[in-house]
């Protein structure tokens, strides 16, 4: 892998490709790394984030094949609450630790990610982290779990998530 070190990544963080930064997630990960609560190495695809981590390596973007390989090989994957990132993790047999972007933090225009993630967590598909403590617990659990079998039917999974998002949006 060119952007990540040749050393296996224990924790991979990805914020997706949104133009809105998600500095809160990188700050939480940096804090937990500084406290020794996340095993290393930690590596992040940081997108448009402005925050520069001090305790782990980050790059703005990765070629898609490299990101997919990192997701498949990481001990734990932490991602934002976007349907694409969650769906990719599930397709690759990873139950991600998900930190939803929040409207109150200026990270999205509404809390659709939070609603989606709460629903998916209730179904056992993701590990939801709404604060740094839950993030540390979720990563610890994800590191103990064996990878799931890759989920086939990626298009079906994306459609299922899209239907769920549509249902949530119609309730507003």
CA 7 – CA 46 distance, rounded (Å): 19
The answer to whether position 6 is within a domain reads no
Number of domains in the chain: 1
Domain limits for position 71: 11-170
Look at residue 25 and tell me if it is in a domain. Answer: yes
The answer to whether residue 3 sits within a structural domain is no
pLDDT at 95: 94
Predicted TM-score of the model (pTM):
0.86
Helices (H), 37-98: 64-73, 83-91
In order along its 172 residues, the chain shows pLDDT tens digits of 445 544 678 999 999 888 889 999 999 999 999 999 998 899 999 999 999 999 999 999 999 999 999 999 999 999 999 888 998 999 898 999 999 988 777 767 777 888 889 999 999 999 999 999 999 999 999 999 877 777 665 566 667 776 776 676 666 5
Q: Is residue 137 part of a domain?
A: yes
Determine, yes or no, domain membership for 74.
yes
Please report the sign of the dihedral spanned by the C-alpha atoms of residue 81, residue 87, residue 89, residue 90.
Answer: positive
Q: Which residue has the tokens 């990873």?
A: 94
Distance CA 172, CA 167 (A): 9
In a domain, residue 5? The reply is: no
Q: What is the pLDDT of residue 153?
A: 57
Per-residue pLDDT, 79:
97
Query: Any idea what the CATH number is for the domain that residue 112 is in?
Result: 3.40.50.2000
- Which of 116, 113, 72 shows the shortest CA–CA distance to 94? 72
Q: Is residue 144 part of a domain?
A: yes
Question: Is 2 a member of any domain?
Answer: no
């Amino acid at each position: 892998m060119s952007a990540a070190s040749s050393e296996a990544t224990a924790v991979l963080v990805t914020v997706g490709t949104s133009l809105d930064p998600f500095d809160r997630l990188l700050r939480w990960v940096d804090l937990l790394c500084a406290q020794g609560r996340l095993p290393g190495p930690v590596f992040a695809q940081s997108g448009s984030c402005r925050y520069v981590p001090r305790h782990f390596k980050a790059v703005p973007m990765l070629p898609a094949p490299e990101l997919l390989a990192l997701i498949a090989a990481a001990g734990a994957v932490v991602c934002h609450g976007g349907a694409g990132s969650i769906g990719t993790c599930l397709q690759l047999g990873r139950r991600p630790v998900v930190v939803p972007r929040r409207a109150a933090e200026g990270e999205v225009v509404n809390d659709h990610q939070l609603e989606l993630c709460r629903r998916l967590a209730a179904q056992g598909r993701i590990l939801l982290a709404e604060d740094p403590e839950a993030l540390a617990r979720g990563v610890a659990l994800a590191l103990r779990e064996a990878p799931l079998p890759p989920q086939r039917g990626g298009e079906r999974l994306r459609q299922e998530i899209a239907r769920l998002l549509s249902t949530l949006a119609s309730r507003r």
